[in-house]
Chains A and B, each alone.
Chain A
Amino acid sequence: MALLEINGLDISYGGELTVSGFGMTLGEGEICSIVGESGSGKTTVIRAVLGLLPTGGKVTSGSILFGGRSLLTLDKKQWRELRGRGISMIFQDSGAMMNPTRTVGSTFVEYIRTHEDMSRKDAWAKGSEMLVKMRLPDPERVMRAYPFQLSGGMRQRVGIAMGMTYQPKLLLADEPTSALDATTQAQIVREMGELRENFGTSIIMVTHDLGVAAYISDSIIVMRSGSIVESGDRGSILHRTQNEYTKMLLDAVPTLGGERYV
């Protein structure tokens, strides 16, 4: 059975249809990228999966099944059990999701203690241990730091460490490397690939960077103005696509030693 199955998903904001007829299937340990330009609805889709549509947004038809169970009918308590343990999410800038007036450790401890009954001390130790797993040097210093004291790459690692604390089956990543420098981006993307090897995590990665999608994904979904233009395994999208829009997107990506304008 597929881990995640979405069928005929329509999402509207204030009565206006923004995503229509979205569908995908994701197996365990698979990585799928959703690519598309801004406004194509890619972020809206993964927000819907985690029940995080902003006010005014709602799923108007279709189904989202996670492990065979519908996510559209969960109540607050059921969501609380699922988020973090079953599905978790990392954002474009993990620094922005953390409270700037609290230390990383304080946020991390709170996160752990909402999920399990644990003393502050143990939760702190568990947090540090996760940071070590995410290859953050000097975890104690990171735990005591405020988000602004960390570089973008380190903040993103903290975000991934939090998301991975309970080894969720599915990790949703919304442009996790777009705000990072090239070299840091390479490190983070590689580490995300290792999550699958080490924990068997399935990942849905939303990105506008086709290069990153090409590197990490098993399958790719191309979206445009709320609908799927094309989907398939990475080879068929990158090398054998017949779709004009996908071709245009691929052509627009600058490559080393590629087309020159001067």
Chain B
Amino acid sequence: MSETILEARDITRRFRLDGGRELTACSGVSLSLYRGKTLGLVGESGCGKSTFMRLVMGLDKPTSGEILFRGADIAKMSRKELHETRQHIQMVFQDPSSSLNPQMKIRDIVCEPLMNYGRIKRSQKNETAAELLEAVELPPEYADRYPHSLSVGQRQRAAIARAVALEPDVIIMDEATCSLDVSVQKSIIELITRLQREKGISIGFICHNLPLVQSFAHEIAVMYLGSVVEIMPGEDIAEKSLHPYTRALLGAVFDINSGPGRKIECIKGEPPSPLNIPEGCPFCDRCGECTERCRKEKPRLTEVSAGHKVACHLYGGESEI
């Protein structure tokens, strides 16, 4: 892998609730973003993937652990330092209809980050907006429009233009394509991967659509109930993934090439509440291969081959203390 841009080490985030209860959204997550590479983060709702990305953005502070951006810990930064760092870490949200201010013209939206950091003067906005729109393949005259007169796909392009405006090192995309039609989704992925190649951006891509993530992520991390259970090269996920949860996710994929004869595998039930995470392996209650040991000891992420780590007792996972 190339140079590490951002590294999260053993991140835990707990939320304190009424009545002294605690909700563990992330427990001991360690992940890295590399220059010009995409990390896909998959898992069901409530598995902590969005919480983790919020921590990376500095929008929230971890209960313990550190997040190193070029060696400096985001979690310990002052407001001013964080403001400086945010130039390098930008974000694209799920719903472009609510993430773009309806009262601002597209020109002002895409130039706003540059104005905030004093990178351009007011007089340069026309020129800059035209360049940014060109980069995301939108016609330059759209600069004068308001978000409501763009289609959803075009709005998401504008949101991407805003995110790349500061030429960041890292872009975090939280379900950035899941509200889009498949054809639009495809064109957005092509756009993102092109921008990544040209500018060497690292992308953290949160998604629950496994076939989509594996089509462009260099590395995929699978999260379950706040823990990373498997991490591996994106291209290998269909063939080489080992963790029973990853296999279950793959089994639940509806493939257009599969006939009605093919059985869709589904795991029983739903993930337990993050308020009471099982003592041993987080997946033990739904796993078909659960043993006595799985109920008592939580397996640790263990390397099984180069770049492929699994947290499962079946594959030599050691126990956490």
B15 within 8 A of A: no
Judge whether A211 and B253 touch: CB under 8 Å.
Answer: yes
A98 within 8 A of B: no
Which chain B residues (208-240) contact chain A, with CB distance < 8 Å?
Answer: 208-212, 214-218, 235, 237-239
Rounded to whole angstroms, the CA-CA distance of A257 and B185 in the bound complex is 18
Judge whether A215 and B260 touch: CB under 8 Å.
Answer: yes
A17 within 8 A of B: no
**Across the two chains, which residue of chain A brings its CB closest to B184?**
A37
Judge whether B211 and A256 touch: CB under 8 Å.
Answer: yes
Judge whether A181 and B211 touch: CB under 8 Å.
Answer: no
User: Quick check: which of A19-27, A166-174, A184-192 contacts chain B, the rest being far away?
Assistant: A184-192
| Chain A residue total in the interface (Cβ 8 A) | 41
Least CB distance from A137 to B in Å reads 8
Interface flags for A195-239 (1: CB within 8 Å of B; 0: not) read 000000000000011111011100000000000000000100010
Judge whether A238 and B44 touch: CB under 8 Å.
Answer: no
B181 within 8 A of A: yes
Judge whether A186 and B193 touch: CB under 8 Å.
Answer: no
In the assembled complex, which residues on chain B have CB atoms less than 8 Å from the CB atom of A210? 182, 256
Judge whether B190 and A190 touch: CB under 8 Å.
Answer: no
A253 within 8 A of B: yes
Judge whether B214 and A252 touch: CB under 8 Å.
Answer: no
Least CB distance from B245 to A in Å reads 9
- Grouping DSSP codes into helix (H, G, I), strand (E, B) and loop, the A interface class, with mixed when no group exceeds half, is helix
A-B contact count (CB 8 A): 117
Judge whether A262 and B193 touch: CB under 8 Å.
Answer: yes
In the assembled complex, which residues on chain B have CB atoms less than 8 Å from the CB atom of A214? 254-258
In the assembled complex, which residues on chain B have CB atoms less than 8 Å from the CB atom of A215? 254, 258, 260, 262, 264
Interface flags for B158-197 (1: CB within 8 Å of A; 0: not) read 0000000000000000000000011111100110010010
Least CB distance from A246 to B in Å reads 11
Q: Could you say which of A153, A234, A258 contacts B270, with CB atoms under 8 Å apart?
A: A153
Q: Which of A153, A190, A212, A254 has the most CB of B within 10 A?
A: A254
Judge whether A260 and B266 touch: CB under 8 Å.
Answer: no
Given the interface pairs A252-B186, A255-B257, A261-B189, the reply to whether A38 lies near B252 with Cβ below 8 Å is no
In the assembled complex, which residues on chain B have CB atoms less than 8 Å from the CB atom of A252? 182-183, 185-186
**Across the two chains, which residue of chain A brings its CB closest to B45?**
A181
Rounded to whole angstroms, the CA-CA distance of A114 and B175 in the bound complex is 41
**Across the two chains, which residue of chain B brings its CB closest to A250?**
B256
Q: Could you say which of A211, A212, A250, A254 contacts B215, with CB atoms under 8 Å apart?
A: A254
B152 within 8 A of A: yes
In the assembled complex, which residues on chain B have CB atoms less than 8 Å from the CB atom of A181? 44-45, 208
Q: Could you say which of B152, B265, B270 contacts A184, with CB atoms under 8 Å apart?
A: B270
Rounded to whole angstroms, the CA-CA distance of A48 and B170 in the bound complex is 47
Judge whether A255 and B252 touch: CB under 8 Å.
Answer: no
Least CB distance from A188 to B in Å reads 9
A96 within 8 A of B: no
**Across the two chains, which residue of chain A brings its CB closest to B196?**
A262
Least CB distance from B15 to A in Å reads 18
A243 within 8 A of B: no
In the assembled complex, which residues on chain B have CB atoms less than 8 Å from the CB atom of A234? 260
Judge whether A260 and B181 touch: CB under 8 Å.
Answer: no
Judge whether B252 and A254 touch: CB under 8 Å.
Answer: no
Judge whether B38 and A262 touch: CB under 8 Å.
Answer: yes
In the assembled complex, which residues on chain B have CB atoms less than 8 Å from the CB atom of A1? none
New A-B pairs, 6, CB < 8 Å, besides A214-B257, A215-B262: A182-B208, A214-B255, A214-B256, A255-B256, A256-B210, A258-B215
Report which A residues bind B (CB closer than 8 A): 37-38, 137, 151-154, 181-187, 189-190, 208-212, 214-216, 234, 238, 248-262
Closest 8 CB pairs of A and B: A211-B254, A186-B252, A254-B211, A37-B181, A186-B266, A252-B186, A252-B182, A181-B44
Interface CB pairs A-B, < 8 A, 21: A37-B181, A181-B45, A182-B208, A183-B252, A185-B252, A186-B264, A208-B181, A208-B182, A214-B255, A214-B257, A215-B258, A238-B257, A249-B182, A252-B186, A254-B211, A255-B256, A256-B238, A257-B239, A260-B215, A261-B190, A261-B216
